[in-house]
Every structure is written in structure tokens, then in C-alpha cells.
Structure 1
């Protein structure tokens, strides 16, 4: 009877952790997506009205990209404390910081009201958001992966990745409703209507915080033997698995590149240059979120049967050439082709991210796993998520659309090559090593 009660308790706890990871991830991506959508469609007029069209767009997307500057700092700081004091405490802090920053953006007066202080506040809050996000994804992924039973880590880590598609649907739906309610792009929409999606984030943050406070600490953290630390988790990580950090970071480039190109640059380009209505652009992205959710679930589950590396290889082998083709399709000026291109893009994004919430944590030893997963994920996000949306408008002006396609295709190939170079991780034990030397040597050997 006691055994049954224990099993029931463990099952309830695992479900609660999966829900907490899912909700936290959804909020993280929701915050980024509403900011990316606003940066493409609203912020050039609200915060950079005196710049020319191209420069205003570049400045707006640059402010969007500024968060990525703070992400590696957040990854190092929260990774350090996540490996030292536990995953749960860090996740509560990152969630609160994200919520404060996102709601704060929705409260900033326009440049017309307070001058240059407005874009400076925008960038400042964006840096806070990036700092928090640097530690959010890795912690959520670790909580799911480290609590999951062996053989089902792909399934339970899936819930962290489902947050992306959910956030796409929710963020685009909220913007679509607000935009339609204000009768298009009228003055009321630009004055305060666009703020509603940001303020709505407070409701999501409160819900996620309530759930997250009720989960237990990861057993992989609590079961570690209390051995003396020699240096920081970052230093141990670089000494033992520096090569794996670089390869994992490279593998993490393609998905955020496609996510933020589709969610920011393509959104702006389709509305401003292709003449598509904002409602169409938002609706297509919302449907794309459904595709991303479905394909993330499928590949995450398949990775338990066929292996993380094999499933990821199949996904990236499709995503890499598609990265080269998608922008010419967006430029086609055909509504149906545009819609199909965006939906296929999000389907491939889902396929790529599905195995990654289990794949990246499994690469690293428990003593510095939070730091390793956070840094590698952040490296991919910076190269793939920050640079392409900022560089794309300038590449089009100077060289034409082919340069954007070449840049995207090149980044897709980098991720494919890095996945090829990484080892299979499915089926490995996540049990913490007893000593630093044993941990480092074992991790280094098994990662080859």
C-alpha cells in the first residue's frame, strides 16, 4: 500500500513538474514573441519615430537583440547558482525577473512623451529580460529531464519545448485581437493598444509562479554527494567538456534563427514590403505555432525510441536546406506561398527543438549541467536569434534578398554539422558522479 502511495505521489509530482516547465517555457517565449512582434510592427513608430524607415526598423530590432547581450551573463550567473543552490530556487527568481521586465515594457511612455528616455528604458528592461531568460530554459529543461524515469526523458522534457508553440499561438492571438479591436493601425493602437499583450503577461507570470513554488527540487541535485568544489561550475565545465559546449551551442543555432526570422524580420517584411495585412501575418504565425507544437511533441517522443541524435539529424537535415529556400518564398508576393512557407518553417522549428530539451542536458555531467545547458542554449540563441533579424534589413538594402537566404542557409548548415559531431545521449544514466575527477573524466570519455 505504501508503495502504491509513493508511486502515486511521484506521478503527481512529475505531472506538476511537467506543467511547471511547460508554463514557464510558454511565458519565456511569449515574452520574447510579443516583444519581437511589437519590435517589427509597432516600436519603430513609438520609440524611433524620427529615424528613417530602414534605420527605425534596424534600431527597433537592435533593441530586440539587446536582450541577447545579457543572456550569456544570465546563463553564467543562474547556471552557477543552479548548480550550487538548486534548480527550483533559480527558476523562481528568473520567472519573477521576466515578469517585471515584460510588464515594465508595457508601461513605458512613448518617445513623443518623454524623449530619449523612452528607448533607453526599453533597452534597459530588455536587458533585464535577457538576463533572466539566460537561466530560464535550462532550468526548466533540467527539472523535467532530471525527474523523468529512464527511457522517458524525451517525453517528459517535451513539455518544456511545447511552450514555444503555445507562446506563438497565444502571442499572435492576443496581438490579432488587440489589433482588430482597435480597427487596425489607428492612433489608439499605437498609443496604448499594443501595451495590452505586455500587461497580460502579469496574469501568466502569477499562474506559473504559483505552480513552480509547489514543485520539489531535482533529485539529480539533491542526491549529489557533498564533495568539495574545485573552482566554479563554469571552470569545471570548460576544463572537462569545453568542446561539447561549443558543439551543443552550434546545434542550438538553427531553431532560434528560424524562430526569430519568422517572428520578427519576416513579420516586418511581409507587412511593410509585401503589402500583406497585419491580420494575415499574425494569423499565419498563430497557425504556425500549432504546427510547431505538434512536431515538437512528435520528435521528442520519437527520441526516446530512436535516440536524440538520430531524430535531431533527420530534423536538421530538412531544416538546413529549408533555411536557404524560405526567404525567396516569402518574397514571392503570393499570399498562399507566404502562408505555406511560414507554416513549414514553424513545423521544422518544432521538429528541431523536440529532442533538444533532453539532448542538451544529457550531454553534461550533473555537477555543472545547469551551466552547460544554459551556456550552450544561449550561444545558439545569440548567433541564431539576435544577429539575423538585425542584419537582414541591411543585407537586403546592400545586396538583396539572396544575401539573407545565404546567411540563413549557412547557419542551418552549422547546426547540422554540430549535431553530426555530437554523441548519442539517449539511454545514458544522469546519476551524479561521486567526485569531481570521476565526473570530469567520465563525462569527457562518454561524450566522445
Structure 2
């Protein structure tokens, strides 16, 4: 009588030394990218008066605040298209190095800018122009670095590698929040110190981080241009009638939904908690940093889950949760908020919203490159990931329109539902890609 044989899971493939270096490089690039994205909304926000006349009205001041953030988002698609073309044509590593060097220089220049007292209105114009150029280089960095890391990762562990790379997002948010909080303590706004020099420190740190990432990328091996022997432009091949354009359309729908739900459920959360629900800013800062620490752990779990059940299943699952569970929790958070009764309950519900809406993002660095063949992979990843942010970036106008139908503090909920539904439709339209061979193209 023979003993029953208990099946065991196949051993996990090990990451090669070059795969580890490419993964760490992509993670560091994402970290610096998101650190830089949050500079105007977190570090510069308390000192924006430095660039404005003292008698500027609230509406104009708030508009400038939003513009300094939005111009970066507008610059990213431009950079994704331009540097994606370069990454497919001349190589991923060389393109990454140029992009990192570019936004490092621009971030340093912003930190050196004089204020309204010296340059007048040109100070704010220079800030906005530099933030746009910064966005161009930022869009180029991940467009080149992420496909490089995915192409060197083992097929059975690409979603895990993607999750590790995307840890740069929560870590960057925690880092910029902690550094800004420290600077506000060292150089209080009441004394004028933060307004004159305190805000510059996070920008100088960002420039130094760019130099560090640039030096690290020298250790990453060069790659051969994926489209080097093709007479056709990668961008032209991406938009030509056929499978590439169909993949791009599906990715655009998916990412439009994911960006819309992210902007309304996550990006607006700190402002909603402090300005609308009137929670103490210190509690919100600590609570938000805690949410992103939890999110980092969830990312790793979702990456493993995507290796077991597939990318498509994970995207469908979280899109459905975003369209159904997140709006209910969002409503409960607002309806039951009582700043006099404590902030913990509200912050816990806010954390549930942030984690669910954010969780599937960790596998996009694997899923999107898996949808395109090598010769257009960087272009497809960059354009599909970045151009979809343009419509969701107008969410503030959508909220004003919805304000005529329901109380303003609830206007985010319909947009969260719409974002979840669009992401669900996009995920269902696409194939499962976990078995894609990135040396030959997407499945």
C-alpha cells in the first residue's frame, strides 16, 4: 500500500542580482517621484503666501494652490509620451537616468526661488513653470524604470516585484509628511521662519534624493533598445489600428476609473478631514501616516494574492469593493463624524477607504507592461498609466456641479462609485496576464 503524495507548491523563483538592482532602482524612482508630487500639497502649502501679495483674496490664493499641483499632473503625460518613446528607442536605463537628473535639477531650482517680495508675480509664474517641467521629467522616470524592472523579474513573481516597487508611494507620503511636520516644529509659521526658509528644506532633500537614485542607477546594467531595429516610431505603432491600440483603450478605461476613485477617495482625504469634518490637523497627520503604513503591508499581501489568483481577478475584486463598500464607509465616516467626540472612529473609517481604494494599485506596474509587446512597452505603460489622469484631475469642478444636487461634503461619493464602475468595466475587458512572456510580448 503506497502512501498518499501530498502535492507541494513549486519553489518560488529567486530574483537574480540584476533583477534585484532593477527592482530597487524602480522603487527608489517611485519614492522620489511621489515625494516630489506631494511637495506642493504638503510642504509648500503652509508657505504659499511667500509667493503671493499679502492682499490676495482667498479664492485666488486657493486657485494658485490647486494650479501648482495640477500643472505637475499635466506635465506627467507629456513626459510619459516623450520619454516612453525614448525608452523604447534608445533603452530604458539611459532614459531613466536622464529623467531622474532632470527632475533633480528642477526640484533644486524650486527650492532656490525668491518670493513675491523680490520677483513680484514672476515668482509664482516661475514656480508654476518649474512644476510643469518637473512633471515632464517625473512622468519619464517611471515610464522607463518600471518596464525595465518587470522585464528582468521572474515571470512567477512579477506581481510581488510590482508591489515592492509601489511601496515607494506610501513610504514617500510618510516621509514628506514627517519631514514637513518636523520643519514646522523647528521653523514655526508663527515666527515667519517656515515662510522664509523652512519650506525649502524638503525641496533640497528631494534634490539630494534624486542624486542618490541617480548614483544607484549606475549599478543597473544597460539594456538593448526594444524598438532599435524597427523603422516605425514606438508611439506611432502604439496608436496604429490593431492589438496595441485595443490594449491601450482598455488600459485607459481601467486607469480613468482608478484615478477618479483615487483622487476623490484618497487624495482629497486630508483636506476633507481637516477643512470639512474639522478634525485637528495633528490627529489627521498622524492618522494619515498610519493609514499609509498599513497600506504598505497590504500592498505586499495583494502582490502575493495576484500571483495566486491572477491580476484580472484582483483588479475586478477591488474595483467592485470600491464601487460598493467604499461609498458606504465614506458616508458613515462623514455622517458620524464628531470632532468634539474624538477623532479615532472617523480616522479608522477613513483608513478603510484609503486602503481599499489604494490596494490594487500595487500590481499595476506588472499588469500594464504585461499588456504590451517589447517594442512599445514603455510607451504603452507610460501613456496608458498617465494620460488617464487628465479627466479625473478635474474632480474639483465635478464636485462643484454635484453640489447643486447634494451637500458638498457628500459629493465625492458619486465620483467614487463612478470610478469603481469604470475600473470594473476596464478590468473585465482585459485578459489575464500573469503568464505573459515579457521577452515576446503580452498575452
Measured against the shorter chain, the TM-score band is: 0.7 to 0.9
CA contact (8 A) 2:88 2:227 kept: no
Report which stretch shifted further, 131-140 or 276-285: 276-285
- What is the rounded CA distance, in whole Å, between the counterparts of 2:384 and 2:199 in structure 1? 33
Q: Distance in 1 between matches of 2:297 and 2:132?
A: 31
- How big is the shift at 1:272? 3.6
Aligned to 1:102: 107
Task: State the Cα distance separating 1:101 from its structure 2 match.
Answer: 2.2
Q: How does 1:64-143 map to 2 (within 5 A)?
A: 64-143=69-148
Within 2, Cα distance between the matches of 1:59 and 1:397? 25
Counterparts in 2 of 1:368 and 1:155: CA distance versus 1, 3 Å? same
Instruction: Structure 1: state its 5+ residue gaps.
Output: 1-6, 434-442
Question: Against the structure 1 CA distance between its residues 259 and 325, is the aligned structure 2 distance closer, same or farther, given a 3 Å change threshold?
Answer: same
Are the aligned partners of 1:266 and 1:330 in contact in 2 as well (CA < 8 Å)? no
Encode CA deviations 1:149-180: one digit per residue, 9 max, x unaligned.
12111122222211101111111111111122
Which of 387, 398, 423 in structure 1 is aligned with 2:394?
Answer: 387
In the alignment, does 2:303 pair up with 1:300?
Answer: yes
- Per-residue CA shift, 1:394-439, capped at 9, x if unaligned? 8659962333322233223212211111111111111237xxxxxx
Look up the match of 1:238.
239
CA displacement at 1:340 relative to structure 2? 1.7
2:195 counterpart of 1:193: no
**In structure 2, C-alpha distance between the alignment counterparts of 1:40 and 1:423, rounded to whole Å:** 42
For 1:129 and 1:397, the matched residues in 2 are separated by: 36
Matches within 5 A, 1:56-71: 56-71=61-76
Aligned partners of 1:250, 1:193: CA distance in 2, in Å? Answer: 41
Q: CA 1:54–1:299 in 2, change beyond 3 Å: closer, same or farther?
A: same
2:29 matched residue in structure 1 = 24
- Shift in alpha-carbon separation, 1:330–1:37, aligned structure 2, 3 A: farther
Show the counterpart of 2:385. Answer: 377
**Distance across 1 between alignment mates of 2:236 and 2:163:** 30
CA distance in 2, matches of 1:273, 1:110: 30
The match for 1:440 is: none
Change in Cα spacing, 1:158 to 1:283, as seen in structure 2 (3 Å) is: same
Of residues 390-399 and 17-26 in structure 1, the stretch that sits farther from structure 2 once superposed is 390-399
Specify the alignment match of 1:356 in structure 2.
364
Q: Distance in 2 between matches of 1:152 and 1:414?
A: 28
Query: When the two structures are superposed, what TM-score results if normalisation uses the length of structure 2?
Result: 0.86
Shift of 1:117: 0.8
- Secondary structure in 2 matching 1:109: coil
Which residue of the other structure, out of 227, 231, 236, is the alignment partner of 1:229? 231
Inter-CA distance 114–269: structure 2 relative to 1 (3 Å threshold): farther
1:176 corresponds to: 181
Partner of 2:411, secondary structure, is helix
Shift of the 388–105 alpha-carbon distance from structure 1 to 2, 3 Å rule, reads: farther
Most deviating of 175-184 and 28-37: 175-184
Higher deviation after alignment, 340-349 or 148-157 = 340-349
Preserved CA contact (<8 Å) 2:257 2:418: no
Q: Comparing 366-375 with 296-305, which one deviates more in the overlay?
A: 296-305
Q: CA 1:49/1:366 → structure 2, altered by over 3 Å: closer, same or farther?
A: farther
Q: 1:314 deviation in Å?
A: 1.3
CA shift at 1:320, angstroms?
2.8
Q: CA deviation at 1:42?
A: 4.0
Give the match for residue 251 of structure 1: 254
8 A Cα contact 2:270 2:284, kept in partner: yes
Match among 272, 281, 286 for residue 283 of structure 1: 286
Return 365-374 or 202-211, whichever deviates more. 202-211
Residue 255 of structure 1: how far off its partner (Å): 4.5
8 Å CA contact 1:44, 1:60 repeated in 2: no
Secondary structure (helix, strand or coil) at the match of 2:307 reads helix
* Deviation digits for residues 236-278 of structure 1 (CA, Å, limit 9, x no counterpart): 1112322221221222235444555566543334334443333
Partner of 1:319: 322
Match of 2:57 in 1: 52
Say whether the 8 Å CA contact 1:140–1:160 is kept in structure 2.
Answer: no
Which runs of 5 or more residues in structure 2 are unaligned? Answer: 1-12
The RMSD of aligned alpha carbons is 2.8
Q: CA deviation at 1:295?
A: 1.6
Is residue 67–residue 128 contact of structure 2 (8 Å, CA) maintained in 1? no
